[in-house]
Amino acid sequence: MPIISNPDIRRALVERVRYYNELGIYDFYRREGMALLANRAPSDELNDLSAPTSEPEQREEMARKKSTAVAPVAEEKLVAVLSTRPEHNVTDPIAALKLIREDLGDCTRCQLHKQGRKQIVFGVGNPHADLMFVGEGPGADEDTQGEPFVGRAGQLLNNMIKAMGIRREDVYIANVVKCRPPGNRTPERDECETCSPFLMRQIAAIKPKVIVALGAVSAKNLLAINAPMSELRGRFYDFMPAGVRSSDPNWQGAKLAVTYHPAFLLRDPRQKGEAWKDLQMVMKYLGLEPPKKSE
């Protein structure tokens, strides 16, 4: 980290890092040419920090609001400590997921915490999974049971997984947001942006070979692409979780496929054939065979 002599800039940097850490973002990337920043105004320098969001002006304003809570401590040390995710260098996915869950805590980072959630639905499954499914957010059943995809849509997802020749316990299942949006509405953009860093950290901890995004909300959030399902499906994307590095330098990211959300398939069963094509693409990549008829 370069030495920053201006105390105002240093303090502001600490505030900014702490703000991102509160959002679950711990890894930052230095842009080329940072050394040229020395002669620039403080506001320019702050805006050049590698902000992992697309709304720097808004984030800047939010960071200022939080500034009163920053304790007057040795800033350089604080930056160094705050820049390290709790699970940084933890290679065991079970331990890493536990640390991420602890870091999430009784989360109040977005408005969904006060809109009737019963509990946080963190994720479930095999921490060593090759295959991960990511949905949109918990529904009523998930909110009650604390586990993703346990209602009717979950039953269909279980059947989809079984048709791939594997079991639910073999995969890991999570959502973009971990609290139930009221009335099962689509999560707002700021809710997804606030919660998804924790999903990115879960992905980096699990290091799956393939991620299947279930539905357009999941796909758009993971891929940062705004496109209809017809364009998103039918191909693999190279995926690296945004804003976080895996503890395993050998993990080169996952392949990401997009398919329909099981809840949509319940409403329009005619699309099940299309979803099966998506899953077959994943099965081929992972070398999975559908179960024999007698199984």
Q: Which is nearer to ligand SF4, 131 or 134 (CB)?
A: 134
**DSSP per-residue string spanning 143-172:** HHHTSSS-SHHHHHHHHHHHHTT--GGGSE
Q: Using the rule CB under 6 A, is 82 a contact of ligand SF4?
A: no
Q: Using the rule CB under 6 A, is 118 a contact of ligand SF4?
A: no
Q: Using the rule CB under 6 A, is 217 a contact of ligand SF4?
A: no
Secondary structure (3-state) at 90 = coil
Q: Which is nearer to ligand SF4, 16 or 117 (CB)?
A: 117
Query: For the chain, how are helix, strand and coil distributed in percent, rounded to 5?
Result: 50, 10, 45
**Residue of 9, 17, 37, 110 that binds ligand SF4 (CB under 6 A):** 110
Q: What residues between 129 and 188 interact with ligand SF4 by CB under 6 A? A: 177-179
The amino acid that residue 265 corresponds to is L
Distance CA 88, CA 269 (A): 43
Question: Considering the complex, what minimum distance in angstroms separates the CB of residue 268 from ligand SF4?
Answer: 27
Q: Which is nearer to ligand SF4, 48 or 188 (CB)?
A: 188
> What does the angle CA 86 – CA 30 – CA 75 come to, to the nearest 5 degrees?
60
CA 170 vs. chain centroid, Å, equals 20
Q: Using the rule CB under 6 A, is 112 a contact of ligand SF4?
A: yes
Secondary structure (3-state) at 248 = coil
Distance CA 274, CA 265 (A): 10
List the x/- string, 188-207, binding to ligand SF4 by CB under 6 A. Answer: ---x--xx------------
Question: Considering the complex, what minimum distance in angstroms separates the CB of residue 32 from ligand SF4?
Answer: 32
Options 25-33, 100-108, 262-270, 280-288: segment touching ligand SF4 (CB under 6 A):
100-108
Q: Which is nearer to ligand SF4, 51 or 179 (CB)?
A: 179
Joined tokens for residue 253: 């990211």
Residue 179 in contact with residue 117, Cβ under 8 Å?
yes
Q: Using the rule CB under 6 A, is 97 a contact of ligand SF4?
A: no
Judged by the rule CB under 6 A, the positions of this chain that interact with ligand SF4 are 104, 107-110, 112-113, 120, 177-179, 191, 194-195
